[in-house]
C-alpha cells in the first residue's frame, strides 16, 4: 500500500514524509535484525524518494507512538542493570548500536545527500533532510535526576558524531544542545521559539486527530482547527510543519502500545486507516472552485489512497496557499500589525514587491471585519486568511472544503460471506482453563506478569486451589461467596472448576483494576484459574518500563471464617496458551492439535480456537473484519496477525457531541462521539493477505462470542456531499457552485438531502435550519438526477435569496447525493 499512500500525500500537497523507526520491530534480539515485509525501511524510503519527496526519519530509538513499549525492545529491559532513557551504560550502548546501524543502512543506500566525497548522482537525489533523536524527553527529565541532562548531552553528541551532514533535531527538548535543533509537538505551535535564533522554527507533531483506546470514546478534531493551527504557525515564522499522523494505519498483531490502544491507528488523519478504496468501483471527482481556478480541482480518480474528506481536501488547499506565499515567506521575517482586539496581521514584505500576509481572528466566537491595506476582509471567528500577494485571499481556514463522503463506517459486503460465516465447516480446539501440559513454576505468592511473559504472549495463568468444607454455610443457602481480586493490569478472566465466573479490566490508560464477582464453589477441592492479560505495554511516561502488570491480591469473601486471603497461597503458573505455543494459527502449525470439525460452532464458549476456510470478499474495496458479536481475543488470516480484537463499549453515560465547534482551543476530549458504542468494531485485513480461495481464518476467543456472525465488511463510499457557502469563492471572479461527480459508469440516483438556507450537521446527517428554501431538493434534482456529474450555482434564479432579510450570516447549500 505504500506507493498509493505516498502518492495520496503528495496529491494532498505534502512534500516530506516523516516516519518513526520501530526499534523493537527491527532488532528482535541483540544483533538480530529484521527488515522484512512491513519492516523494509529501505524500500519505504525509496518509495518516498521515487515520489520526489523528502524524508524525515525519527530513529528514536524511544518513540512513544502508542506503540508497544514505546518502541524499545522488551529484551533490553531484561539486560541486567538497564534503565531506559537515562545516563545508563547498557541503555546507551544498545541505543548507540541501533542508531548507528540505521544510519549506516541509509548511508549504504546513499540516501543522505551529503555523503562525504561521494558525488550525488542524478538518480540518487537528496532524501533525508532531518533525522530525529530521542522524543519528548523534556517532559520526563525530572524522573531521571541529574543523569537526565548528561543523557541528553550524550544523545546529542552521539547523533551528531554520526556525521551524516543533515541536521539532527530533538522534539520538546528546550535545552537541546547545539547544533541539535529543538522542535515543538502540540496542537498549536505558533508561539513556539527554538532555543537559538540560528535555529529554524520546526513543528514535528501537529495532531490532526487523536488515537483511540479500547473502552473509550472516539475523538475528532475539526479540519478547520487543524488548518487554523498550521496557518498560524506559518503566520508566525514557522519553517517546517509535520502532521502526526497524516496516515496512521493499523497496528497489526500485538504492536499497539498502551495499555489498551486499539489496533486501529486511524487517528482521524487526512488519509484514512484503510488507505485505499477508490480504484475500480468507487471514486469521486470534486471541483470546488471550478468557475474560478481549474488548478484547484482535485481529481480523486487519479488517486490510490483514501483521503478523508473534508480534512484531506481542506489541508490540500491550505498547502497550496502556503506554497503560493513561499517566495515571500523565504525572503523576510514577518512583521506583526494589530488590526483590533484578537485581530492580527503578519506581513512578509521585504520591500522588493514580493509580499504575503496572514490575517487572523483569534476570537473563538465572533466573526469580524478588518481593514488591511485599505481593503476590507471578513474574518470568521478562530480563522486565518492567507493572502499570497497581500491582496487576494487564497484561503481561509474556517471555510472548510465542501466535499465529504459517507460513511465513515464499513458496510457489510453484498456477496458472500455477507451473512456472516454461517453454513461453513468449522474446526474447533478448546484450551484448558488453567495449566496445560507441564506447569512453568510454582511460587507462594504472586509474580509480575510482564517479568514472566517478557511480552512473548498476552497471557499468563495464575492457578491455585481451595478446599471447601461441607459445613460451609453458603452451601446450604442460596448465597455465593465473592471472589475479590486486585491487579496492576491489564485484564483478567476468572475461572473456577473450568467455568468462567467473570472478567475485569482497567479502563482508559488506567490499568490497575479490581474484580468482584460471586463465584460457584463446591464442597471439596476447587480449582481457581485466573487468566491475566496484557493489552499493549506502556508506551510513554517517566520510567515507564518499570510499570508492571498482573495480580496483587486474591481473596474470597463469605466463608464461615469470613474472608480468606489466597494471596500468599501456592500459585502455579503457565505462560501463554497451548494454541499459541503450538502456533496453530500459522500455516505450518495448523495441524499441531486435533481440531474437532462441526458445522455448528459453539457460541458463548470461552477459551475457544475457531478455524474456518473463507473466500475473499468480492471486489477490491478494503476489508475489515466485523467482530461486534465476539468477546475478546486474537485473529489471524493465513498466518498474518490481524491483531487483538475487543468490541468493548465506552460508557453510554459519558458525554458525546453531535457536532464539533471548530472554534476555540482544541484538546483530545473536546469532541468525542460513540458513547455506548464499541471503541473498535472493525479490524483491517489488508487485501494482499487474501488468496483467491482457501483462506484460513483463525480466531482465539477468550470469553465467548458468536463466530457465525463474524462478517467481512467493505470500506466504501455510498454518498457524496457538498456543503458550500455563498461566500465561496472569496475572490470575486466566478460564482459559488456546488459540483458533484459520481464514479465512472454511475449516475446520481437520489438526492438524499438538499437545503439552501442555514443547514447544519455533517455529511450523512445534515439537517435543515430555521431558514430553508423549500425548492432546494427539486432544484438539485433537476440539475443532477440521472447525470454522472452536475453543478449548481448559488444564483438568484435558482434559489430564494430573500429568505432571511438582513440576516448576518450568508446562506449555504448542503447536498447529499447517492451514486448508483
Ligand atoms: C506525542 C508522541 C507521539 C505520540 C503522540 C500522541 O507526545 O511523541 O509518539 O505518542 O504524542 O499520539
**Separation of alpha carbons 519 and 291, rounded Å:** 71
Co-location of 552 and 587 in the same domain: no
* 684 membership: H or E segment, kind and range: strand 682-685
- For cell 475500480, the residue is 280
Tell me how far the alpha carbon of residue 289 is from its chain's centroid: 31
Residue 809 lies inside a defined structural domain of this protein: no
pLDDT at position 25 is 98
Whether 63 lines ligand 1, by a CB cut-off of 6 Å, is: yes
**Rounded distance, CA 699 to CA 634, Å?**
6
205, 249, 509: residue to mutate for ligand 1 pocket, most atoms within 8 A of CB: 205
C-alpha atoms less than 13 angstroms from C-alpha of 605 in its C-beta half-sphere: 16
Can you list the positions of beta strands (E) in 702-778?
Answer: 711-714, 719-725, 737-741, 748-757
- The secondary structure of 616-670, three-state, reads CCCCCCCEEEECCCCCCEEEEECCEEEEEECCCECCCCCCCCCCCCCCCCCCCCC
Q: Is the beta carbon of 136 within 6 A of some atom in ligand 1?
A: yes
The C-alpha cell of 459 is what? 497471557
How many whole angstroms from 65 Cα to the centroid of ligand 1? 5
Do 586 and 570 belong together in one domain? no
Asked if 293 and 150 sit in the same domain, the reply is yes
Residue 319 lies inside a defined structural domain of this protein: yes
Alpha-carbon gap, residue 225 to 361, rounded angstroms: 12
Report the C-alpha gap between 549 and 534 in whole angstroms: 7
Q: Which residues of the chain are modeled with pLDDT < 50?
A: 115-125, 277-304, 405-418, 729-733
Q: In terms of domains, do 479 and 422 share one?
A: no
Q: What is the pLDDT, as a whole number, of residue 545?
A: 97
The CATH number that applies at residue 562 is 2.60.120.260
pTM assigned to the model: 0.88
Query: 192 C-alpha to center of ligand 1: Å?
Result: 18
Residues 278, 415 within the same domain: no
pLDDT of residue 818: 80
Q: What is the CATH number of the domain that holds 614?
A: 2.60.120
The residue segments making up the domain with residue 42 are 2-330
Please state whether beta strands 524-533 and 491-496 pair in parallel, antiparallel, or not at all (unpaired): antiparallel
Task: Judge if 295 and 163 occupy the same domain.
Answer: yes
pLDDT at 313: 83
Residue 278, pLDDT score: 38
DSSP string, 721-741: EEEEETT-SSSSSS--EEEEE
682 lies in some domain? yes
CA–CA separation, 82 vs 61, rounded Å? 15
Do 271 and 210 touch, CB atoms closer than 8 A? no
**One domain for residues 564 and 595:** no
* Domain's final residue, options 516, 545, 576: 576
Give the closest residue to 710 by CA, choosing from 651, 652, 633, 649. Answer: 633
Question: In this predicted structure, what is the pLDDT of residue 298?
Answer: 35
Classified as helix, coil or strand, 295 is helix
Instruction: Answer whether residue 341 is part of any domain.
Output: no
Confidence (pLDDT) at 42: 95
**Domain shared by 304 and 425, yes or no:** no
Give dist(CA 730, CA 388) in Å, integer: 14
Q: Are residues 522 and 631 in the same domain?
A: no
- Total domain count, the chain: 3
Last residue of a domain, one of 576, 603, 637: 576
State whether the beta carbon of 211 lies less than 6 angstroms from ligand 1: yes
Q: 31 and 142 share a domain?
A: yes
Say which DSSP state 169 is in: E
Res 730: pLDDT: 38
- Same structural domain, 215 and 101: yes
Beta bridge partners of 205: 185
On whether residue 657 sits in a domain, the answer given is yes
Q: What is d(CA 431, CA 446) in angstroms, rounded to the nearest whole number?
A: 23
Q: Annotate 113-147 with b (16+ C-beta within 10 A) or e (fewer).
A: bebeeeeeeeeeeebbbbbbbbbbbbbbbeebeee
Residues forming the active site: 136, 205
> Of 694, 714, 734, which residue sits at a domain end?
714
What span, in angstroms and rounded, lies between the C-alpha atoms of 713 and 696?
17
What is the 110 CA–ligand 1 centroid distance (Å)? 30
Amino acid at each position: 500500500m505504500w506507493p498509493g499512500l505516498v502518492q495520496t500525500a503528495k496529491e494532498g500537497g505534502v512534500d516530506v514524509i516523516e516516519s518513526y523507526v520501530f526499534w523493537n520491530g527491527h532488532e528482535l534480539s541483540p544483533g538480530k535484525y529484521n527488515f522484512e515485509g512491513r519492516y523494509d525501511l529501505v524500500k519505504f524510503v525509496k518509495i518516498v524518494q521515487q515520489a520526489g519527496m523528502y524524508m524525515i526519519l525519527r530513529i528514536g530509538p524511544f518513540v512513544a507512538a502508542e506503540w508497544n513499549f514505546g518502541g524499545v525492545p522488551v529484551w533490553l529491559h531484561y539486560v541486567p542493570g538497564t534503565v531506559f532513557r537515562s545516563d545508563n551504560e547498557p541503555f546507551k550502548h544498545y541505543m548507540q548500536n541501533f542508531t548507528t546501524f540505521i544510519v549506516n543502512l541509509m548511508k549504504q543506500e546513499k540516501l543522505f545527500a551529503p555523503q562525504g566525497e561521494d558525488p550525488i548522482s542524478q538518480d540518487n537525489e537528496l532524501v533525508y533532510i532531518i533525522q530525529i533523536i530521542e522524543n519528548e524527553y523534556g517532559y520526563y527529565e525530572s524522573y531521571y535526576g541529574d543523569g537526565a541532562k548528561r543523557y541528553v548531552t550524550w544523545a546529542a553528541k552521539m547523533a551528531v558524531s554520526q556525521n551524516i551532514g543533515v541536521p539532527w533535531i530533538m522534539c520538546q527538548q528546550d535545552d537541546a544542545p547545539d547544533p541539535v535543533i529543538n522542535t515543538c509537538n502540540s496542537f498549536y505551535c505558533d508561539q513556539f521559539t527554538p532555543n537559538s535564533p540560528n535555529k529554524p522554527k520546526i513543528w514535528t507533531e501537529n495532531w490532526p486527530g487523536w488515537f483511540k483506546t479500547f473502552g473509550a470514546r472516539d475523538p475528532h478534531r475539526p479540519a478547520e482547527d487543524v488548518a487554523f493551527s498550521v496557518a498560524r504557525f506559518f503566520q508566525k515564522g514557522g519553517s517546517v510543519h509535520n502532521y502526526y499522523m497524516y496516515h496512521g494505519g493499523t497496528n497489526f498483531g500485538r504492536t499497539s502500545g498502551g495499555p489498551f490502544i486499539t489496533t486501529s491507528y486511524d487517528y482521524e488523519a487526512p488519509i484514512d486507516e484503510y488507505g485505499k478504496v477508490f480504484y475500480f468501483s468507487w471514486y469521486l471527482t470534486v471541483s470546488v472552485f471550478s468557475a474560478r481556478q481549474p488548478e484547484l480541482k482535485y481529481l480523486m480518480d487519479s488517486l490510490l489512497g483514501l483521503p478523508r474528506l473534508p480534512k484531506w481536501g481542506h489541508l490540500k488547499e491550505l498547502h497550496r496557499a502556503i506554497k503560493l506565499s513561499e517566495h515571500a515567506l523565504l525572503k523576510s521575517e514577518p512583521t506583526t500589525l494589530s488590526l483590533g482586539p484578537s485581530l492580527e496581521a503578519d506581513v512578509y514584505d521585504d520591500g522588493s514587491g514580493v509580499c504575503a500576509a496572514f490575517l487572523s481572528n483569534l476570537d473563538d466566537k465572533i466573526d469580524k471585519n478588518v481593514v488591511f491595506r485599505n481593503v476590507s476582509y471578513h474574518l470568521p471567528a478562530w480563522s486565518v486568511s492567507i493572502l499570497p500577494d497581500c491582496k487576494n485571499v487564497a484561503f481561509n481556514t474556517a471555510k472548510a472544503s465542501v466535499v465529504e463522503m459517507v460513511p465513515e463506517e464499513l458496510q457489510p459486503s453484498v456477496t458472500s460471506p455477507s451473512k456472516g460465516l454461517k453454513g461453513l465447516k468449522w474446526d474447533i480446539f478448546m484450551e484448558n482453563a488453567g495449566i496445560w501440559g507441564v506447569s512453568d513454576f510454582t511460587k507462594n505468592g504472586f509474580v509480575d506478569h510482564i517479568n514472566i511473559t517478557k511480552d512473548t504472549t498476552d497471557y499468563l495463568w495464575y492457578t491455585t486451589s481451595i478446599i471447601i468444607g461441607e459445613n460451609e454455610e453458603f452451601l446450604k443457602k442460596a448465597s455465593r461467596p465473592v471472589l475479590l481480586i486486585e491487579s496492576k493490569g491489564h485484564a483478567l478472566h476468572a475461572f473456577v472448576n473450568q467455568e468462567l465466573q467473570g472478567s475485569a479490566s482497567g479502563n482508559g490508560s488506567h490499568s490497575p483494576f479490581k474484580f468482584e464477582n460471586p463465584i460457584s464453589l463446591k464442597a471439596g477441592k476447587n480449582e481457581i484459574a485466573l487468566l491475566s492479560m496484557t493489552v499493549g505495554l506502556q508506551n510513554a511516561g517517566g520510567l515507564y518500563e518499570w510499570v508492571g502488570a498482573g495480580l496483587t491480591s486474591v481473596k474470597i469473601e463469605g466463608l464461615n471464617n469470613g474472608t480468606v486471603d489466597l494471596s500468599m497461597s501456592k500459585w502455579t503458573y503457565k505462560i501463554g496458551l497451548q494454541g499459541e505455543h503450538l502456533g496453530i494459527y500459522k500455516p505450518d502449525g495448523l495441524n499441531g492439535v486435533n481440531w474437532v470439525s462441526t458445522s455448528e460452532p459453539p457460541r458463548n464458549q470461552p477459551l475457544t480456537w475457531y478455524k474456518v476456510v473463507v473466500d475473499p470478499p468480492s471486489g477490491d474495496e478494503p476489508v475489515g473484519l466485523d467482530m461486534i458479536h465476539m468477546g475478546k481475543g486474537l485473529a489471524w488470516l493465513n498466518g498474518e496477525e490481524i491483531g487483538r480484537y475487543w468490541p468493548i463499549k465506552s460508557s453510554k453515560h459519558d458525554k458525546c457531541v453531535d457536532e464539533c465547534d471548530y472554534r476555540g482551543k482544541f484538546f483530545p476530549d473536546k469532541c468525542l462521539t460513540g458513547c455506548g458504542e464499541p471503541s473498535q468494531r472493525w479490524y483491517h485485513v489488508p487485501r494482499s493477505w487474501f488468496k483467491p480461495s482457501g483462506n484460513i481464518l483463525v480466531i482465539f476467543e477468550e470469553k465467548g462470542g458468536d463466530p457465525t456472525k463474524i462478517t467481512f465488511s467493505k470500506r466504501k463510499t455510498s454518498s457524496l456531499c457538498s456543503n458550500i457557502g455563498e461566500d465561496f469563492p472569496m475572490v470575486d471572479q466566478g460564482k459559488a457552485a456546488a459540483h458533484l461527480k459520481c464514479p465512472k459508469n454511475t449516475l446520481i440516483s437520489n438526492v438524499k438531502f438538499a437545503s439552501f438556507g442555514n443547514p447544519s450537521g455533517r455529511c450523512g446527517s445534515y439537517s435543515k435550519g430555521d431558514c430553508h428554501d423549500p425548492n432546494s431538493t427539486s432544484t438539485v434534482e433537476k440539475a443532477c438526477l440521472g447525470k454522472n456529474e452536475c453543478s449548481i450555482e448559488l444564483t438568484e434564479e435558482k434559489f430564494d435569496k430573500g429568505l432571511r432579510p438582513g440576516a448576518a450570516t450568508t446562506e449555504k447549500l448542503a447536498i447529499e447525493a447517492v451514486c448508483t
